[in-house]
Structure 1
Amino acid sequence: MKIALIFGTRPEAIKLAPVYYALKNEGCDLLTVSSGQHKEMLNQVLELFEIKADYDLQVMRVCQNLSDLTEKLISKIDKIIRDEKLDYIIVQGDTTTAFIGALIGFYYKIPIAHVEAGLRTNDIYNPFPEEVNRRLITVLSSIHFAPTINAKNNLLKEGVSEDKILLTGNTIIDSLFWVKEKHQKKMKEIRKIYSLNDKKYILMTMHRRENWGKPMENVLSAVKRYLIENKDTYLVFPVHLNPYVNDVVHAELKGVNNAVLLEPLNYLELLSLMEGSYYIMTDSGGIQEEATAFNKFVLVLRKETERPEIIEAGIGKLVGTETKKSI
């Protein structure tokens, strides 16, 4: 059986790594297609998990819009699927890469399997464009791997047949524990390298498209005020390279002595800093999930979350992006 795994971002690769090795152990003929939607962050994860992309589409360009990205993905993925004789295509989550991979597979009548199916906020603009992407992937898919009961119930409400849904749990936890087991000593050394072993620090990430501009400025204003008032607490912020994020973060937090602004971290470094943190602030979906494995409380910097289990379990709070609620 020949199966293509199509992915383009670091979270997709992390969550598909256990799937890749499970299929490989079953003797499947695997084809890995990397769009390179987040090239730098993606390649480090592929190296960590020892996965080589058979195709690297290199679609990423600085500040390109979604239409440009979609156009490139359609053209390049179509050629691969047209030339390869595939029995299945597997996509993960809700990226533009995942949606276009599923769409082109549908055009060639290849069954689509969707890992992390059924997540919903029921607000088409939060997160954007991911909420719509994952809904469209659901329509195109033949098999739905739901990570939680909530996700399964969402699919059932939308009319997906129960015999097409498999409740799997979240593969990011499999990957996280694999990394921790293999690299625990190195994770401790990383915190030492960043001089964080003896510091009380909040780990923060923020990069989502719907938070660009005023929402991000609101959050950073609250964070800046908190840091000035709590000089014994540090903020560790690996800042996304996108200028819409990078420029704003550095402008807002410039001169705040207990704000530690870092270049983007590789996955091992990120897990290390998560493990040592006091708590976490993020608009990332994957970090919401990973934080639970480290027993870390999360402030979710979004208006909605498709991972309500974290809020329901009392280990996270949805604080939005208004200044008075952000910290």
Structure 2
Amino acid sequence: MTARPRVMTVYGTRPEAIKMAPLVAALEADDRLEPVVAVTGQHREMLDQVNALFGIRPAHDLDLMTPGASLAEITARTVLATSELLRADRPEVVVVQGDTTTVLATSLAAFYERIPVVHLEAGLRTGDIRSPFPEEANRRLTAPLADLHLAPTATSRANLLRESIPGSRVPVTGNTVIDALRWTTAQPVEFTDPAVAAFFDGPSAPRDLLLVTSHRRESWGAPMVATMTAVRDLAVARPDLQVLLPMHRNPVVREVIEPLLGHLDNVLLTEPLDYHQFAHALARATVVLTDSGGVQEEAPSLGKPVLVMRDTTERPEAVEAGTVRLVGTDGATIRRAVDELLDDPLAYAEMAGAVNPYGDGRAAERCVAAIAELLGVGERAADFAPAPDLVSV
């Protein structure tokens, strides 16, 4: 019997793990391919939580992170470690996801080892190499190294074609985050933090809930002070509004958030929620205020208006559909946008319309078909194309 081609997935952060999980499951269900999971440990605790939720047991755990490591140190360490792993394991193909340091470093290591690279969620672009930092550079630099570009949308595919990537190497698959979200929100949830459980299910469960996340590197410092001051002002002006803010563990983030918001009765600051709990919190939110990339895909898929505290986005599809709005980091702009959604039912309805340009829950299936074609053991599926009336999950 001929050995099945080995497909190594490599990831290191929680967002990567969430979007890789459906692909790992689809690879395991396909008898043409042999999946091998490797993790770098870039987000240690949050990464382990996602793997446990989806039942993934990595074959290789490089555990590369050390406190206070610079981007250069993380990149160098990851290139060296993944190079050694690839020389020892020799998979037929390596799959990376998104735009993290793990993605760029692993792609470079695979290129040096002459192992084909598959880039999951390829082709996202803002047009500004410094925004978001360093993610835009990571994904742009990964593109020339990749042999197969799994573009989540037609917009992402068009970005790659403009960069002279051959169209034959860029299938449109939909985004695997929708596969993950569909599965996760269908599972019963138990909030492990008593304060969060009481927040959602207690007698004073909120009518209007503003879910806030902020952590990106370009948000640090003055921009984050401005955005979190706006959240404070909203909470003070609207005592009936409940604000839930799961805080990133980075002290740079917490030293801004806690002094501004920690004393307000209608603001609940929590430790990071695991993905299962966060997905259910997102489903119960009224409005989402974020600087996250993945949340821009997830929240519209649940029919939630999203206000993005950034000046640019690599995910323009939902902006064009009207379910996401860029509000930047100006406090007055943020306050007006939240107030409008909470006070104007028509404005809310326009944004909350169940428009889902990102997927139909079958992205992983298309990704596996494209990988099988690359390896000569199958044929590519038809590209994903969102229906005009595609409903939310």
Q: Which interval holds the TM-score relative to the shorter structure?
A: over 0.9
1:62–1:242 Cα contact (<8 Å) kept = no
Map 1:116-127 onto structure 2 (within 5 A).
116-127=121-132
Equivalent position of 1:265 in the other structure: 273
Match of 1:128 in 2: 133
- Residue 59 in 1 paired to residue 67 in 2? no
Query: Is 2:24 the partner of 1:16?
Result: no
Deviations 1:46-73 (A, max 9, x none): 0000001111122223332101111211
Distance 1:326 1:101 in 2: 38
Secondary structure class of the residue paired with 2:199: coil
1:79 aligned partner, one-letter code: E
Q: Determine the C-alpha separation between the residues in 1 that align with 2:257 and 2:123.
A: 33
* Runs (5+) with no aligned partner, structure 1: none
Is 2:208 aligned against 1:204?
no
- Distance (whole Å) between structure 2 residues aligned to residue 194 and residue 163 of structure 1: 52
Number of the residue aligned with 1:295: 303
Structure 2 distance, partners of 1:145, 1:303, is 26
Q: Is the 8 A contact 2:83 2:113 kept in 1?
A: no
Instruction: Write out the 4+ residue segments of structure 1 that deviate beyond 6 Å after TM superposition.
Output: 189-192
Structure 2, unpaired ranges of 5+: 336-393
Answer with 51-60 or 239-248: which moved more. 51-60
How many Å separate the matches in 2 of 1:64 and 1:326? 33
CA drift of 1:300 comes to 0.5
Decide which of 259, 262, 268 is 1:251's aligned counterpart. Answer: 259
Per-residue CA deviations over 1:33-53 (Å, capped at 9, x if unaligned) read 111101111100000000011
Alignment of 1:1-40 (within 5 A): 1-27=5-31, 28-40=33-45
TM-score (norm 1): 0.96
Distance 2:159 2:123 in 1: 6
Corresponding residue of 2:362: none
In 2, Cα distance between equivalents of 1:265 and 1:126? 26
Aligned residues with identical type, % of pairs: 39
Whether the aligned pair in 2 keeps the contact of 1:63 and 1:242 (CA below 8 Å) is no
Q: TM-score, normalised by structure 2?
A: 0.80
1:100 aligned to which of 84, 105, 108: 105
- Helix, strand or coil at the partner of 1:167: coil
- CA-CA distance at 1:192 after TM superposition: 7.2
Cα distance change of structure 1 residues 128 and 186 upon mapping to structure 2, 3 Å threshold: same
Q: 1:111 to 1:129 in 2, by over 3 A?
A: same
Task: Tell me how large the CA RMSD over aligned residues is.
Answer: 1.7
Shifted more, 172-181 versus 115-124: the winner is: 172-181
Q: What number of residue pairs does the alignment pair up?
A: 326
Does 1:161 find its partner at 2:169? no
The residue that corresponds to 1:44 in the other structure is 49
Q: Which residue identity lines up with residue 306 of structure 1 in the other structure?
A: E
Corresponding residue of 1:68: 73
Q: 1:280 aligns with which of 283, 288, 306?
A: 288
The alignment partner of 1:79 has SS state of helix
Change (3 A) 1:231 1:15: same
Larger Rg computed on CA atoms: 2
3-state SS of the aligned residue for 2:94?
Answer: strand
